[in-house]
Amino acid sequence: MAQGPKKTSGRGQRDLTVRVKTAKGRKLSSKLWLERQLNDPYVQRAKREGYRGRAAFKILELDDRYRFLVPGARVVDLGCAPGGWCQVAVPRINALGEKQGKAVGRIIGIDLQEVDPIPGAELHVLDFLDEGADDFIKARLDGPADVVMSDMAASSSGHKQTDHLRIIALCEAAAELAFDVLAPGGTFVAKVLAGGAEGDLQKRLKDRFDKVANIKPPASRSDSSEKFVVATGFRGNQNDTSSATG
């Protein structure tokens, strides 16, 4: 895991922690956010490695542990903006066919807003809650998905419990889509916020998947209540005889 910049003091030593002066009209909360960004090792690493945001390292760390982004996998990225998760998935599933002798995967990224192009990823402006979204996804993938992943979060209301309920509702909706588009053996990965209302979601996932794990990857900020649910071994839908590719 990357180490953060260390603060040093004393004559002849430089304070490596970036401090942001509070300018006139700048709120303290904005100052603190900017200061945290400037000192976040994952933000700095994302810039060095060409990722669109620090969230890319969350899916990297989850996949390093559970190995669901494999060559040939068909992947759906819900709420994909700004595109960091797609950037990680493209080489791992061999979407560009650069790994000779390995199956070529496909990834569909969906978001309410337009996302700048990513080589190897097919990006669409679409509300996954719309009627027919499931059929659209399966048509674009030319079959069922092996992975449905979501880093979606509802706009913050400033009220912790309200925000928790909103993100759980999003996660439940994403799970419903996963139940419809996943192939047997598939994987569902989604962000949730710890807060006590996720019990029903956990139960439903355990009914449909062989294993359900809850994990906070190192890239998640220690002061954040976010965690990720990783459900593997989708048992499929009744009368579904299709099989996973990856």
Binding positions for S-adenosyl-L-methionine: 83, 85, 111, 127, 151
> Which position among 21, 31, 160, 191 bears the catalytic label?
191
Catalytic residue list contains 47: no
Is the Cβ–Cβ distance between 167 and 206 less than 8 Å?
Answer: no
Q: Which residues contact 53 (CB under 8 A, 6 or more apart)?
A: 46, 82, 84
Q: Residue 101, Cα to own-chain centre: how many angstroms?
A: 28
Could you tell me the sign of the dihedral formed by the alpha carbons of 46, 52, 58, 62, in that order? negative
Known binding-site residues equal 83, 85, 111, 127, 151
Torsion angle (degrees, nearest 10) of CA 185, 75, 136, 55: 130
Residue 62 contacts residue 218 (beta carbons within 8 Å): no
Give every CB contact of residue 145 below 8 A, 6+ residues apart in sequence: 74, 75, 76, 137, 138, 178, 181, 182, 183, 186
Positions marked catalytic: 191
